[in-house]
A and B are shown apart, each in its own frame.
Chain A
C-alpha cells in the first residue's frame, strides 16, 4: 500500500512542477520549492516502510526540490539558486521556529488531547533541522555541479543522472548524521542512509522527465 502512496506522491509532485511552471514560470518554481521545504519538514517526522525498508517520510518532496532547482539552473542559470537559497533559509527558520515555540506554550485544558498530540508531534526539532540543513547545504553545490556537467555535455539526462548520484548521496549522509547520530549504532545508521539514498536516487532519476518536458516549453 505504501508503494502505491509513494507512486501517487511522485506523480503528483512532478505534475505540480510542470503545471506550476506553465502557469507562473520561474516564480512558480520558487513557490514550489519554498512550500515543498516547509511541508517536507512536517512529513519527515513520520517513519514508514517502503518494500520492508524503513525510511523517514518527506523524501518525495525532498527529491523534487532538487529537481525543481535543476530546472531553475537549466532555464535561468546557477546564479538564480542564490536567491532561492535565501528564500528557503528564511522560510525554514521562520516556520520551524514559530511551530517549535508554539509547542512550548501551555495548551488549553478543554482540548487537552489535541494539544498534547500537537506538542508531541512537532517538538522533534532535530529531524526538522536535519531535513532543512541537508537541502540548504547541498543545493548550491547541486546547482554548480548540474551547470558544469551541462557545459561539458549538453544533455539533460546525463546532467541530471550524474548530479543526482552525487548530490543525493551527500545530502542523505548529512541528513542521516544530523538526524540519527547517537540514536542508532553505526551499522544501523549506514543502512538508514543507504536505503534513503537509493529511494531518493530513484525518485530524482524519474525527475529527468519533468526537466525534459519543461525544457521543451518555450
Chain B
C-alpha cells in the first residue's frame, strides 16, 4: 500500500508541473516552485519505508523542485534567472517562522497536538536548520553545474541526470549525517543511499516530461 501511495505522489507531481506550465506559463512554474519548496521542507521531517528501503519523504518534491528550476533556467530571460532563488529563500524563511511560531504558542487545555509539534519540529532542530541551508546551496551550485555540463555534452537530459548523480549524492550524504542525529552510522548511510537511489530513478522518470516542456514553443494562456 505504501508503495502505491508513493507512486501516486510521483504521478501527482509529474502531472501538475506540465499542467501549471500549460495554463499559467512561467507563472505556473513559479507557483509549483513555491508549493514544492514548502512541502519539501515539511516532508523532510519524515523518513519512509518503501520497498524495504528507508527513504526521506521529500525526495519526490526535491526532484520536482530541481526539474522546475532547470525549466526556469531554460525558459527565463537572463535578467530574471535568479528569481527562483529569492522565492525559495522567502518560502524557507516563511516556513521556518511558521514552524517556530506554531511551536512557541502556549496551547489551550483541549489541544492534543502541541506536544507532537514540539516533538516533531523543535526536538528535530538539526533538520529545521540543515534543510534550508542545503537547499539554498544546492540551488546556487546545481544550475551552474547544469550549465557547465550542458556546454560539455550539448544535451539537456544527460546534463540534468549527471547533475543529480553528483549533487544528489553530496546532498543526501550531508543531509543524512547532520539532520538525523539520533540514529547510528549504518542507518544514516542506509537512508542517504536509498534516498539517492530512489531520487535517481525519479529524476530519470522526469526525463520525457522535461524534454516535452523544453521543446514546447507556444503555451496556452
Query: Which residues of A are at the interface with B, using a C-beta cutoff of 8 A?
Result: 1-2, 5, 9, 12, 20, 31, 34-36, 38-39, 42-43, 45-49, 54-55, 57, 61, 86-87, 90-91, 94-95, 97-99, 101-102, 104-111, 113-115, 117-122, 124
Is residue B66 within 8 Å, beta carbon to beta carbon, of the partner chain? no
Are B113's CB and A113's CB within 8 A? no
- Distance to closest chain A CB from B194 (angstroms): 9
Are A35's CB and B187's CB within 8 A? no
- Distance to closest chain A CB from B72 (angstroms): 14
Are A102's CB and B46's CB within 8 A? yes
Q: Which residues of B contact A107 (CB under 8 A)?
A: 46-49
Are A45's CB and B57's CB within 8 A? no
Are B20's CB and A98's CB within 8 A? no
Alpha-carbon distance A118/B61, docked complex (angstroms): 17
Q: Which residues of A contact B38 (CB under 8 A)?
A: 35, 38-39, 95
* Known contacts A102-B57, A105-B57; is-contact A47 B12 (Cβ 8 Å): no
Closest B residue to A60 by CB, please name it.
B101
Is residue B191 within 8 Å, beta carbon to beta carbon, of the partner chain? yes
Alpha-carbon distance A40/B170, docked complex (angstroms): 33
Is residue B9 within 8 Å, beta carbon to beta carbon, of the partner chain? yes
Are A121's CB and B116's CB within 8 A? yes
* Number of A-B contacts defined by CB within 8 Å: 165
Q: Among the listed A47, A104, A121, A124, which residue makes an inter-chain contact with B108, where contact means beta carbons less than 8 Å apart?
A: A47
* Known contacts A54-B108, A105-B57, A121-B116; is-contact A31 B87 (Cβ 8 Å): yes
Residue among B2, B111, B124 with the highest chain A CB neighbour number at 10 A: B111
Closest A residue to B58 by CB, please name it.
A102
Alpha-carbon distance A109/B50, docked complex (angstroms): 11
Are A48's CB and B108's CB within 8 A? yes
Q: Which range holds the interface residue count of chain B?
A: 35 or more
* Known contacts A38-B35, A98-B13, A105-B57; is-contact A114 B46 (Cβ 8 Å): yes
Q: Among the listed B2, B24, B32, B107, which residue makes an inter-chain contact with A47, where contact means beta carbons less than 8 Å apart?
A: B107
Is residue B197 within 8 Å, beta carbon to beta carbon, of the partner chain? no
Q: Which residues of B contact A31 (CB under 8 A)?
A: 34, 87, 90
Are B35's CB and A105's CB within 8 A? no
Q: Among the listed A1, A86, A98, A114, which residue makes an inter-chain contact with B47, where contact means beta carbons less than 8 Å apart?
A: A114
- Distance to closest chain B CB from A147 (angstroms): 23
Q: Which residues of A contact B105 (CB under 8 A)?
A: 2, 5, 46, 48, 57
Closest A residue to B180 by CB, please name it.
A111
Alpha-carbon distance A102/B42, docked complex (angstroms): 11
* Known contacts A43-B102, A94-B16; is-contact A110 B5 (Cβ 8 Å): no
Q: Which residues of A contact B191 (CB under 8 A)?
A: 108, 110
- Distance to closest chain A CB from B40 (angstroms): 10
Are B107's CB and A117's CB within 8 A? no
Alpha-carbon distance A55/B117, docked complex (angstroms): 17
Alpha-carbon distance A157/B220, docked complex (angstroms): 40
- Listed by A's residue number, 15 A-B pairs whose Cβ atoms lie within 8 Å are A20-B90, A31-B87, A35-B38, A35-B90, A39-B95, A47-B111, A95-B38, A98-B13, A101-B8, A102-B48, A105-B6, A107-B49, A113-B119, A114-B124, A118-B120
- Distance to closest chain B CB from A180 (angstroms): 11
* Known contacts A48-B105, A94-B16, A105-B2; is-contact A54 B48 (Cβ 8 Å): no
